[in-house]
Structure 1
């Protein structure tokens, strides 16, 4: 039998390899051997891409069962991840402008922040809800966050923000009349901010 040299590589190298493939394909490498069983649990770059069928209206009954399993899959991934592993980057994106349950979105962002996220991106995010409120949080404190990109029709409501290391921010809130208020609250809380795009 040919020698398995790849499995002899240190975890840091194996994680670099897994970081180059789809995150759920990385999870599937656990079946390769005992050596690979837990490597994926320490991935630091978390990229979740949602497949959203076109032609659905926001809050449509038909859309919810198509999105919910994907949301649950992300939560399951985070639950089984090594709780001591840091998060370098957290990225959510969609095929088309997509919808997500508010509770899931807030759970994921809080997870990323609590694990020291440095780069946070949420692209083309809307929400599935019976109401029209925006995503919200009483306070967002991410002391290690250096880059933030958020594209959505509605702003993320937050009373207090603490982002001392933030250097780059891109906001595209294209249906909000309160964008200036959110821009001001972000810039005032970021002492190291040098690049903005609103």
Structure 2
């Protein structure tokens, strides 16, 4: 008797789950790789064809023992899903270099089904993106890795409807005296992330974004004494993390509100006074560009650069005229520095010392670490000198 009652209870629970609307079940299944979503067809008749109407698809080659099985599974899913259902989100992750024929079929499918959110963390190798993907107006979010402009027709972006762009592990090399402005053909771009990036061969890297609101740089290097020119009158949020200070062209960012600067500088660069001065000059130049910021967060390394070049700060005006709150992330360890008066004056005097100052102290344990603690990209052509700050 108890056994029957348990079966009835279990059946009731199963029915309650199976009776959920398709859109809720789709949302639940979208949290997993599509491989496991397809396997739910074995649960009951209710799930037999449910995967065929999934609007969100995610494929990761790490879930397969062989690349051949991965590619066959992806193409089988695309072939047998309901052709009348458009794709909302599509993600394909592949660690090795992609197969051109396979990738062409995948791109053809997602473009023809009006994909909106496209994530392609793959090794592109010598593959070139087809023009039909560049001209796809339905794409409003795009993530790509191991990116090189050579895979683009004409080396320029042309996603007219694109609003959110995330590029990482990329190299730009553009031999020209003219500004390199790869995103000017994305008029609706609102959020831009560039990470693990090495640029060379040009004097000006220009970011044109008349609708750009959020801009983030991480592990970012620009060589050949190049500078960054940011033309974004609507920009409200700027983040610069785990990167050597770069040279910024002086532009006006009137809408800027939130700034996060987490500069990384190898300690061996502090051995000479000229090096300290160059680092401080690059940093104060960046702050002049960010002068309209109201909420500013600075890392310990950023403060350390300013503290070790006191003579430079004496000749620099305080940059943050509209500052409301500044947060300093300090470290507590044996050799940690204090916030010196000349640094405080430089950061706060333009606001009349009316801004709120918040200090967050982190206790740091002294442990052995590698020479590259933040993972600056190890490109063979990168020369980590300070010449490109001049």
TM above 0.5: yes
What is the CA–CA distance in structure 2 between the aligned matches of 1:30 and 1:52, rounded to whole Å? 18
SS of aligned partner of 2:173:
coil
1:62 aligned residue: none
Distance 1:189 1:38 in 2: 41
Larger radius of gyration: 2
Which blocks of at least 5 consecutive residues in structure 2 are unaligned? Answer: 1-7, 195-390
- Which of 153, 157, 161 matches 1:158? 153
Distance in 2, matches of 1:176 and 1:122, equals 18
C-alpha displacement at 1:51, in angstroms? 2.0
Task: Indicate yes or no: 2:146 matched with 1:141.
Answer: no
Aligned residue for 1:120, secondary structure, equals strand
State the alpha-carbon separation in 1 of the partners of residues 26 and 75 from structure 2. 21
Change in Cα spacing, 1:175 to 1:192, as seen in structure 2 (3 Å) is closer
Structure 1 residues 104, 178: CA separation in 2 closer, same or farther (over 3 Å shift)? farther
Q: Give secondary structure in 1 for the equivalent of 2:139.
A: coil
Q: Is the 8 A contact 1:93 1:125 kept in 2?
A: no
State the Cα distance separating 1:113 from its structure 2 match: 1.8
Give, in angstroms, the shift of residue 87 of structure 1: 0.8
**Residues 143 and 162, structure 1, Cα contact 8 Å, conserved in 2:** no
Structure 1 residues 161 and 197: alpha-carbon distance in aligned structure 2, compared to 1, 3 A threshold: closer
Q: Which among 180, 185, 190 is matched to residue 186 of structure 2? A: 190
CA distance in 2, matches of 1:22, 1:134: 25
- Pairing 1:62-141 to 2, within 5 Å after superposition: 66-94=66-94, 97-127=95-125, 133-139=126-132, 140-141=134-135
**Partner of 1:30 in structure 2?**
41
Runs (4+) off by over 4 Å: 159-162
Q: TM-score under structure 1 normalisation?
A: 0.76
- State whether residues 45 and 87 of structure 1, in contact with CA within 8 Å, keep that contact through their aligned partners in structure 2: yes
CA contact (8 A) 1:67 1:100 kept: no
- Asked if 2 retains the 8 angstrom alpha-carbon contact of 1:152 and 1:174, the reply is yes
Q: Cα–Cα, structure 1 residues 75 and 11, in superposed 2: closer, same or farther, change >3 Å?
A: same
Residues 106-132 of structure 1: per-residue CA shift (max 9 Å, x gap)? 2212211221111111114234xxxxx
Cα displacement string for residues 120-164 of structure 1 (whole angstroms, at most 9, x for unaligned residues)? 11114234xxxxx33231333221211111112544232596532
> Where does the alignment leave 5 or more consecutive residues of structure 1 unmatched?
54-64, 128-132
Distance 1:154 1:192, change over 3 A: closer
Give the TM-score of the pair, scaled to structure 2: 0.41
**Could you say what the CA RMSD is over the residues aligned between the two structures, in angstroms?**
2.9
Q: Secondary structure at the match of 2:131?
A: strand
Q: In the aligned structure 1, how far is the partner of 2:158 from the partner of 2:56?
A: 22
Quote the Cα distance in structure 1 between the aligned partners of 2:87 and 2:114: 6
Query: Given that residues 139 and 159 in structure 2 are in contact (C-alpha distance below 8 angstroms), is that contact kept between their aligned partners in structure 1?
Result: yes
Structure with the larger RCO, 1 or 2 (CA within 8 Å, 6+ apart): 1
What does 1:171-190 align with in structure 2 at a 5 Å threshold? 171-172=167-168, 174-175=170-171, 177-178=173-174, 184=181, 187-190=183-186
